Amino acid sequence: MKKIKINMLSQADKVDGQGVGSAYLEQVELVKENKDFEVVVNSSKKADILHCHTINLGHYFKLISENSATVAYVHFLPDTLDGSIKLMKGMSKVFRRYVITFYKAADYLVVVNPIFISELMRYGIKREKIVYIPNYVSKTSFYKLKEKDILKVKKKYNLDTDKFTILGVGQVQTRKGVKDFVECAKSLPDFQFVWCGGFSFGKITDGYDELKAIMDNPPSNVKFVGIIPRSEMNQMYNICDVLFMPSYNELFPMSILEAINSEKPLLLRNLDLYVEILFGKYLKGRNNREFIRELKKLSRDKEYYNKYSKYSKEISDFYCKEHVASLWDDFYKKIYKEHANKKKKNKEEAK
């Protein structure tokens, strides 16, 4: 069998601090390891499969014009744009319509969370064109560090080496729950809170003025360290005791997959989207009062802490490289065969 040529189209790594960029880089590296595939990136040459990781207009024109099997990665839905970027009212409607038009133009859609299958169907997209393949994070890039290395990183960022440390990760946006993160910190002055991330989209970020004021004058126990290069993020997960993500809307945050490789307990908002993908092996809260209660218990109850640390390892073991790689192998070979059969049928009908 000849190698299947896959053209990965993406601008996801052009903006720092986006989970979409991390997911794209991991997926491309994973597929490149498969000897049955030839992977090219942003190529102008014809390929057997065109896989769009981002919804750029140029990618849309390639989707509708090239005679290849086409795939679009669904990293967000129109509803998840709320609380992320602030657009003029008319522009917002146009952009939402464009997102769905883009998804409908692809032969297949890949979602990273099964809960969004029904959401896409609500927009008139057929179930048979939607496939669930979870994100994946390399265990050679994200792993547990030794205690001496953790202390070095804490000193690098001027963090107290003895204090219970809570980490938040993501773009500084309203939907990420940054304000709740800071409010919880105010109620827990003996803990230190660190947020990795910044304004990837600048002043069009939803809530920019209010969030910028918080970042410029945070409580004494909160440190905003800005956008950290992905190559250094493993250090940040290791210096924390808990990954605390009070987001109001997500798909499948890469930060969760990255953090669990260092076996950190997860404290998340009580969202339906986590139920199927994290198997109940995480802590959740509906509001700041519940978040604060869980953080206190984790810091005081070693048995409780170890239980959720072990749970994170179990989640990490499920999303192993071999499992996710096999899903991509099956998917690409299936759609390549289906597209070849379709072309053959069209030729015969044209005779």
Which of 344, 333, 345 has its CA nearest to residue 108? 333
Angle between helical axes of 89-105 and 57-65 (0-180°, round to 10): 30
Output the average pLDDT for the chain: 91
Q: What are phi and psi of 35, to 5 degrees?
A: -70, -15
Q: Decide if pLDDT at 200 tops 90.
A: no
Query: Which contiguous run of DSSP H or E holds residue 64?
Result: helix 57-65
Name residues whose C-beta falls within 8 Å of residue 349's C-beta, 6 or more positions apart in sequence: none
**Residue range 171-194: mean pLDDT, rounded:** 96
pLDDT at 83 over 90: no
Instruction: Please report, in angstroms and rounded to a whole number, the separation of the first and last CA atoms in the chain.
Output: 27
Please give the Cα distance from 36 to 210 (Å, whole number). 50
- Give yes or no for residue 89 having a pLDDT over 70: no
Confirm if 122 and 103 have CB atoms less than 8 A apart. Answer: no
Spatial separation of the C-alpha atoms in residues 322 and 181, rounded to whole Å: 35
**Mean pLDDT, rounded, for 251-277:** 93
**pLDDT recorded at residue 215:** 93
CA dihedral 319, 323, 324, 328 (to 10 degrees): -170
Query: Would you place residue 17 in the very low, low, confident or very high pLDDT band (cuts 50, 70, 90)?
Result: very low
Hey, is 343 helix, strand or coil? helix
pLDDT tens-digit series, residues 35-67: 999 999 999 999 999 999 999 999 999 999 989
Predicted local distance difference test score (pLDDT) of residue 108: 97
Dihedral Cα 301, 304, 307, 308, nearest 10 deg: -100
Percent of the chain with pLDDT over 70: 92
Instruction: Look at residue 87 and tell me whether its pLDDT is greater than 60.
Output: no
DSSP letter at 273 equals G
Q: What is the pTM of this model?
A: 0.84
Higher pLDDT, 15 or 343: 343
Domains along the chain with CATH numbers: 4-136+320-350 (3.40.50.2000), 147-318 (3.40.50.2000)
Looking at residue 203, its pLDDT comes to 76
Q: What is the pLDDT of residue 326?
A: 96
> In whole angstroms, what is the distance from residue 268 CA to residue 257 CA?
13
SS3 348: helix
Residue 168: count of CB within 10 angstroms of its CB: 28
pLDDT above 90 coverage of the chain, percent: 74
State the pLDDT confidence band at 76, using cuts at 50, 70 and 90.
confident
Predicted local distance difference test score (pLDDT) of residue 250: 85
pLDDT higher than 50, residue 139: yes
Q: What digits encode the pLDDT tens for the residues 229-259?
A: 999 999 999 999 999 999 998 888 899 999 9
Predicted pLDDT at 18:
53
Retrieve residue 99's tokens. Answer: 């997102």
Per-residue pLDDT, 206: 73
**Distances from the Cα of 201 to the Cα of 47, 74, 91, 256, 314, angstroms:** 32, 20, 16, 22, 35
Token pair belonging to 96: 């939402």
111 touches 77 (CB < 8 A): no
